[in-house]
Structure 1
């Protein structure tokens, strides 16, 4: 009996010691624009980074918040904290203060900042993933499929390890259509649609949506169309995950699967 008690005491101490080994810190309101930016850009274009203070080469996930490109705020989802990841929550400018094209450039600048500074926060520059919900997922797809946005920052979108958007708009975003005087229920595909930029050589893409019968407008079908077109052009690493029973606000059931998919993709590269 004494040996059993000692064993459990030892096990408990070991667990406490392990828990204390990895600590995390959050640095907030880091600007990713330079001094020539407008006052509005300096106010909005900031990011927060949650990272482990020990160890090296942790996968990085960049999270763009939702809000229709007209609102919202930068966030680091609680579920992603202390999962062995460097998590970056990005803020960006909003319509109608700026055009949708400008917001996409913000997303590219933020991603560029992370790609160039990941090592400072114990991140693995070879395993940087982009994610985000709704409008955030749209931004993730746009800066990956249309390589010109990151090229303007001196980077190659194909260096990203994977794109995992949550319920992203894949046709022209409704806010971009509004800029053109087009109703949100009138679907269009132009240069501001991820579908317009489908390409064979894009990084791995995993599309998350809510239930096709509960999602916002045709959001499931948009993602299914993108998946189909990726297959047609010969893109090899993509899939669509539908969270049945969940509507457009399917962030939580998606977050555990996001972590699982990041770990899988990292392991596949080893």
Structure 2
């Protein structure tokens, strides 16, 4: 079982591909406004990182009427790479369809491990709950979304209320999760097996304590009363992602939660996020039904 690296050069190629579609990029830019590089932590906060503790907000240009639902997108990158700037196309596409999108950075390995990454993501969501009304968003309709490692972090935000109580929030503000080929759903069993020597690379991000692996695996956070989940898995993605997503779906449903798993034919791991450049795909359709329904 492998979780293969999804490194920055791959994302750079995705970004280059997207920028080649100049006419489409220009068209969608007229329908939204981006506010870049907003710190979601005060600069005086211990451990503040002036690059990683930033987010971008994409708002529909025409904000008349009721406040819009909000989707916070968490990038992937093997827990050691990736950047919000690559995913401008997701922000634009969501804003064009009447959603306020927030694309975030968070600290990465080897500087920190996954518990600190999940803490960063929770602090970003806290900022959203406090400030998103200024950008036309509804703080009572916050959803999280992520691809690959970001999908695993989004699943943690939706299932682990302690991430929010630890930062002084009385309740988890996440109303639902959209998980695109999520990695890290069950790192406990994955790292216990370590059938391939290359799998030891993940000890940098997850540490060497098995109880720590379990503590950041969303599979073991499942209980009744969780917000609705949408899981999307590529038919040809990595086996660990397929197995983890299937186990997560089964456990969610067994606990009585509302969850839907969709296998997208022919898709490998990287194309699962690349497809979000185009408006008419099943992920956006199901996302909009969830956040606007």
* TM-score > 0.5, shorter chain as reference: yes
Q: Which runs of 5+ in 2 are unaligned?
A: 1-26, 192-200
**Given the alignment of the two structures, is residue 87 of structure 1 paired with residue 101 of structure 2, yes or no?**
yes
2:52 corresponds to? 44
After TM superposition, list the pairs within 5 Å mapping 1:99-110 onto structure 2: 99-110=113-124
Task: Specify whether residues 79 and 52 from structure 1 end up closer, same or farther in structure 2 by C-alpha distance, changes over 3 A only.
Answer: closer
Task: Specify whether residues 163 and 156 from structure 1 end up closer, same or farther in structure 2 by C-alpha distance, changes over 3 A only.
Answer: farther
Q: Which runs of 5+ in 1 are unaligned?
A: 1-18
SS in 2 for 1:60: strand
1:10 corresponds to? none
2:220 corresponds to? 196
CA distance in 2, matches of 1:245, 1:127: 33
2:154 corresponds to? 140
Higher relative contact order (CA 8 A, sep 6+): 2
After TM superposition, list the pairs within 5 Å mapping 1:144-223 onto structure 2: 144-155=158-169, 158-169=172-183, 170-172=185-187, 177-178=203-204, 179-181=206-208, 190-211=214-235, 214-223=236-245
**Given the alignment of the two structures, is residue 57 of structure 1 paired with residue 72 of structure 2, yes or no?**
no
Q: C-alpha displacement at 1:24, in angstroms?
A: 2.2
* Alignment check: 8 A CA contact 2:60 2:95 kept: no
Q: C-alpha displacement at 1:81, in angstroms?
A: 4.0
Q: C-alpha displacement at 1:148, in angstroms?
A: 0.4
CA distance in 2, matches of 1:176, 1:157: 31
1:113 corresponds to? 127
* Alignment check: 8 A CA contact 2:119 2:163 kept: yes
Please, which moves more after superposition, 76-85 or 189-198?
Answer: 76-85
* Alignment check: 8 A CA contact 1:70 1:95 kept: yes
* Alignment check: 8 A CA contact 1:165 1:208 kept: yes
Cα displacement string for residues 154-173 of structure 1 (whole angstroms, at most 9, x for unaligned residues): 33565322101111121128
Q: C-alpha displacement at 1:109, in angstroms?
A: 0.3
Cα displacement string for residues 205-229 of structure 1 (whole angstroms, at most 9, x for unaligned residues): 1111111xx2123211110100101
Q: C-alpha displacement at 1:189, in angstroms?
A: 5.9
Match of 2:253 among 231, 248, 257: 231
* Alignment check: 8 A CA contact 1:63 1:130 kept: yes
**Given the alignment of the two structures, is residue 264 of structure 1 paired with residue 264 of structure 2, yes or no?**
no
CA distance in 2, matches of 1:24, 1:79: 9
* Alignment check: 8 A CA contact 2:31 2:95 kept: no
SS in 1 for 2:37: strand
Residues paired across the two proteins, number: 241
SS in 2 for 1:43: coil
**Given the alignment of the two structures, is residue 240 of structure 1 paired with residue 261 of structure 2, yes or no?**
yes
* Alignment check: 8 A CA contact 1:210 1:248 kept: yes
